[in-house]
Amino acid sequence: MSDKIQVQGIVLSAQPIGEQDKRLVIQTTDLGRITAFARGCRRMGSPLLAVANPFVMGEFTLVAGRSAYSLTEGSVSRYFRELTTLIPGVYMGFYFLDFVDYFGRENVDGTDMLNLLYLALNALIHPEFSDLKVRRLFELRLLSMNGVYAPREDRMEEELYRLCDGICRIPLQKLFQLPVPEALFPKLSDHADKACRSVLDRPLKAAEIMESFYA
């Protein structure tokens, strides 16, 4: 019998399978982005009922299979329940989950991406942070974290370069407190759009819905 593995993570997606199961994608600390099947989690009274949903953060107990894991136990540390009641903030949240799913890889250290996602979802909940600002800081930091983006001083205005360089370098805990001058935000937004388009080879599932609310 395979040994049980315990990991910390956030559920990125939960797809119903059959009448009782779900296929989960989870961004974890130690294993990176993984696929796990939650057998029987859709049955009333299942101990997996609460953990097998997007935005759930917690500890997951897994058993490794040939091509995926089986989820045997789970405990929730954060539901992000506040976010699921916010319109349109919840759609921005789903976009963040998709963004992490796109870059996630299995069997790599996923701690930094998990921490960034956690902080970004927290920022969406707090009214003092603009959703649009949180989005741009999140996008550029995630691209930088994955080695596919770095601001170039010779191709940008000096003020925009300093801001983007700061986004890539500032400690994660301080990222969403980073001041963004209002007059500079349209340029930052345009720059982030171009950076994302240059890297992504397909549209993210949640992007179209999210964009319709923030147009």
Per-residue pLDDT, 92: 97
DSSP per-residue letters across 119-170: HHHHHHHSTTS-HHHHHHHHHHHHHHHTTS----GGGS-HHHHHHHHHHHHS
Backbone region of residue 35 per phi and psi (left: phi > 0; alpha: psi in -120 to 50; beta: other values): beta
Label residue 144 by pLDDT band (50, 70, 90): very high
pLDDT of residue 1 exceeding 60: no
- Give Cα 171 to chain centroid, integer Å: 18
Contact 58, 9 (CB under 8 A): yes
Cα–Cα distance for residue pair 174/75, rounded to 1 Å: 28
- Region 100-106: what's the mean pLDDT? 96
Q: Average per-residue pLDDT in the chain?
A: 95
Cα–Cα distance for residue pair 105/43, rounded to 1 Å: 30
pLDDT of residue 207 exceeding 90: yes
Label residue 3 by pLDDT band (50, 70, 90): confident
- Region 49-56: what's the mean pLDDT? 96
pLDDT of residue 215 exceeding 80: no
Give the count of beta carbons closer than 10 Å to the beta carbon of residue 183.
Answer: 8
pLDDT in tens, 72-86: 999 999 999 899 899
pLDDT of residue 56 exceeding 60: yes
- Region 116-142: what's the mean pLDDT? 96
pLDDT of residue 145 exceeding 70: yes
Angle at 27 between CA 71 and CA 42, to 5 degrees: 35
DSSP per-residue letters across 62-127: EEE-SSSEEEEEEEEEE--HHHHT-TTHHHHHHHHHHHHHHH--BTS--HHHHHHHHHHHHHHHST
- Report the percentage of the chain scoring pLDDT > 70: 99
- Is the fold of 4-79 the same as that of 86-214? no
CATH for the stretch 4-79: 2.40.50.140
pLDDT in tens, 147-193: 999 999 999 999 999 999 999 999 999 999 999 999 999 999 999 99
Helix, strand, or coil here: 41? coil
Domain boundaries, the chain: 4-79, 86-214
Kindly give the pairing relationship between strand 57-64 and strand 21-28.
unpaired
Per-residue pLDDT, 2: 66
Is CATH 3.60.15.10 the right assignment for the domain spanning 86-214? Answer: no
Closest CA to 71 of 44, 84, 53: 53
- Region 117-134: what's the mean pLDDT? 96
